[in-house]
C-alpha cells in the first residue's frame, strides 16, 4: 500500500477557501508533486458551519466554502488527486466546531456522498475511556458506506496519558494513527517527536506494516522554522519511520531547495519501500544517533543524525552502526543525503567516515553484495530491543 502522501492545509479566517484548495491542487499537478507521489489535498479543522443542517448533517461554512465540499472534491478528482477532510470523535472538534459523537453513521455517509477519500479523525472533547468505542464505530460506519476512505486516527495520542494503548485494536481499526504531540515549525519540536518515538519504539514499531502506520505528524519542510540541514533530517527520519508524508506548507511559494528535497525520488522510495517495515533508533554514540530501516531486496536504509547544533561537520565512521554486519563479506553503499553519491564497495573493516553537519543527517542505503542475509533483520531488532537502540 502506498502510504499517504499529501498536502494538508489548515482552514484560516480567509474567505472562499475553495479557491485556495483548488490552487493547491493545480500546483500539485503542474509542479511535479503528483508525479512524485503526493496524491491527497487535505482540509484540517474549522471547515464546517457551527450548526448542522435540518437533517443533522455537517455542512461547510458558507463563506469559506460557498460551493460546498462536493464541488471541491469533484475539482480535486478532476486533477487525478484525492480529497481529505477533518472531523472529531467527540462532541466538538478541537477548535469548537461540531464533532461526530452521536453522528458517526450520518457523518460517514455525508463524507462518502461528497466524494471524500481520507478522514482525519481527531480526539478532542471525548471521554478517554470511550475512545476505542468511538474510533471503532466510525471505522464501521465508513466501511458501511461502501466508499474507500482512508482512516487517519488519533486514538493512541489521547489514550497515552492514561494507559498504554492497545495497538492490535488500533491497527485493526485505523490506516494510520498519531501517537504524540503536534509538530510545530521548530527543530525542538521535531527532536521531541524523534525522542518520543525512539523511547517507545519497542511498543509502536511492531504495529506498523502494510495497511497501518505510525504517524509522527506533518512535514514542516518549506516553512521558516528549520534550517536546510534540519529539513533534510526531518525528511530522512520520516522516511526511516515509514511515516505518512503529509506536508504542511504553501506550495505556491515554497523555496526551490525545499521543493527538491520533498520531491526527492530516492528518499520517497525509502519511505514507500514495499517491505513495509518501520525503522528504529539503533545506536547513540558521541552525539550521533543512528536509525536503521530494513528494506526490500535485503537492503538497509541508515540515517546518521548529528545531534550537535554548533560547530562544523563531524565525521561518522560508517562501520560503527549495528546493521553494518550485512557488509560481511561486502556491501555497496549509496549516500542519498545530503547529496547523492555512490560510495562504492565496502567491507566490515571499512574506515570510511561520512561528514554530517550540525543538526543534519546523512542518509544511506546499504546493499549486501554476497553472503546470507537471511535473519539479519530479526536478529538486529532483537539486539536493539535490549537497551539503547537508536536508529532512524
Contact 55, 280 (CB under 8 A): no
pLDDT at 225: 97
pLDDT at 368: 95
As a whole number of angstroms, the distance between CA 336 and CA 232 comes to: 10
CA-wise closest residue to 105 among 170, 49, 57, 154: 57
Contact 89, 101 (CB under 8 A): yes
C-alpha cell of 205? Answer: 514499531
pLDDT at 91: 98
User: Nearest 10 degrees: CA dihedral of 312, 222, 361, 212?
Assistant: 160
Contact 64, 97 (CB under 8 A): no
- Which entry of 53, 127, 182, 286 is annotated as an active-site residue? 182
Q: What is the pLDDT of residues 34-72, one digit of tens each?
A: 999 999 999 999 999 999 999 999 999 999 999 999 999
CA 218-128-131 angle, to 5 degrees, is 70
Contact 364, 318 (CB under 8 A): yes
Assess whether the previous peptide bond of 182 is cis (omega < 30° from 0): no
Taking each continuous run of H as one helix and of E as one strand, the counts in the chain are 13, 16
- Residues whose CB is less than 8 angstroms from the CB of residue 202 and which lie 6 or more positions away in sequence, other chains included: 385
CA-wise closest residue to 256 among 25, 5, 32: 32
Dihedral of CA 2/241/239/79: which sign?
Answer: positive
Is residue 307 classed exposed, middle or buried when 0-12, 13-18 and 19+ CB atoms within 10 A define those classes? middle
- Which entry of 45, 88, 107, 122 is annotated as an active-site residue? 122
C-alpha cell of 72? Answer: 471541491
C-alpha cell of 151? Answer: 482512516
pLDDT at 321: 85
What is the residue whose three cell numbers read 503526493?
38
Contact 98, 87 (CB under 8 A): no
Look up 122 and say whether it is catalytic: yes
pLDDT at 14: 56
DSSP state of 127: -
Look up 182 and say whether it is catalytic: yes
Q: pLDDT of the chain along its 392 residues, tens only? A: 334 444 555 445 556 899 999 999 999 999 999 999 999 999 999 999 999 999 999 999 999 999 999 999 999 999 999 999 999 999 999 999 999 999 999 999 999 999 999 999 999 999 999 999 999 999 999 999 999 999 999 999 999 999 999 999 999 999 999 999 999 999 999 999 999 999 999 999 999 999 999 999 999 999 999 999 999 999 999 999 999 999 999 999 999 999 999 999 999 999 999 999 999 999 999 999 999 999 999 999 999 999 999 999 999 998 888 899 999 999 999 999 999 999 999 998 999 999 999 999 999 999 999 754 443 443 333 333 322 222 22
What is the residue whose three cell numbers read 506533518?
218
pLDDT at 16: 80
As a whole number of angstroms, the distance between CA 248 and CA 90 comes to: 24
Amino acid at each position: 500500500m502506498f502510504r499517504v502522501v499529501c498536502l494538508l492545509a489548515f482552514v484560516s479566517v480567509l474567505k472562499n477557501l475553495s479557491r485556495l484548495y483548488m490552487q493547491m491542487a493545480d500546483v500539485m499537478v503542474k509542479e511535479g508533486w503528483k508525479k512524485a507521489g503526493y496524491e491527497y489535498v487535505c482540509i484540517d479543522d474549522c471547515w464546517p458551519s457551527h450548526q448542522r443542517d435540518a437533517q443533522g448533517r455537517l455542512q461547510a461554512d458558507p463563506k469559506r466554502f460557498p460551493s460546498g465540499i462536493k464541488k471541491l472534491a469533484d475539482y480535486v478528482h478532476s486533477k487525478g488527486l484525492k480529497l481529505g477532510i477533518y472531523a472529531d470523535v467527540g462532541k466538538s472538534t478541537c477548535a469548537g466546531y461540531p464533532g461526530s459523537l452521536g453522528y458517526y453513521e450520518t457523518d460517514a455517509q455525508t463524507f462518502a456522498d461528497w466524494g471524500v477519500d481520507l478522514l482525519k479523525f481527531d480526539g478532542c472533547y471525548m471521554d478517554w475511556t470511550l475512545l476505542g468505542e468511538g474510533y471503532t464505530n466510525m471505522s464501521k460506519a465508513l466501511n458501511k458506506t461502501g466508499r474507500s476512505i482512508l482512516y487517519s486516527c488519533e486514538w493512541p495520542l489521547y489514550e497515552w496519558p492514561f494507559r498504554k494503548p492497545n495497538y492490535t485494536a488500533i491497527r485493526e481499526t485505523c490506516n494510520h494513527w498519531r501517537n504524540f504531540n503536534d509538530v510545530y515549525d521548530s527543530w525542538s519540536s521535531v527532536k521531541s517527536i524523534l525522542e518520543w518515538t525512539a523511547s517507545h519504539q519497542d511498543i509502536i514499531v511492531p504495529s506498523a506494516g502494510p495497511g497501518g502506520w505510525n504517524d509522527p505528524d506533518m512535514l514542516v519542510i518549506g516553512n521558516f522554522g528549520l534550517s536546510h540541514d534540519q529539513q533534510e533530517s526531518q525528511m530522512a527520519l520520516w522516511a526511516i519511520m515509514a511515516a505518512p508524508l503529509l506536508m504542511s506548507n504553501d506550495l505556491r511559494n515554497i523555496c526551490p531547495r525545499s521543493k527538491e528535497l520533498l520531491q526527492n525520488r530516492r528518499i520517497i522510495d525509502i519511505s514507500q519501500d514495499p517491505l513495509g517495515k518501520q525503522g528504529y533508533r539503533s545506536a547513540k554514540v558521541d552525539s550521533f544517533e543512528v536509525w536503521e530501516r530494513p528494506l526490500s531486496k535485503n537492503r538497509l536504509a541508515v540515517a546518521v543524525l548529528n545531534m550537535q547544533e554548533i560547530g562544523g561537520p563531524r565525521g561518522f565512521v560508517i562501520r560503527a552502526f549495528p546493521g553494518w554486519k550485512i557488509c560481511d563479506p561486502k556491501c555497496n553503499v549509496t549516500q542519498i543525503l545530503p547529496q547523492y553519491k555512490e560510495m562504492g564497495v565496502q567491507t566490515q573493516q571499512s574506515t570510511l567516515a561520512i561528514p554530517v553537519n550540525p543538526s543534519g543527517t546523512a542518509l544511506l542505503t546499504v546493499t549486501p553484495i554476497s553472503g546470507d542475509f537471511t535473519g539479519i533483520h530479526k536478529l538486529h531488532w532483537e539486539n536493539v530491543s535490549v537497551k539503547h537502540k537508536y536508529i532512524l
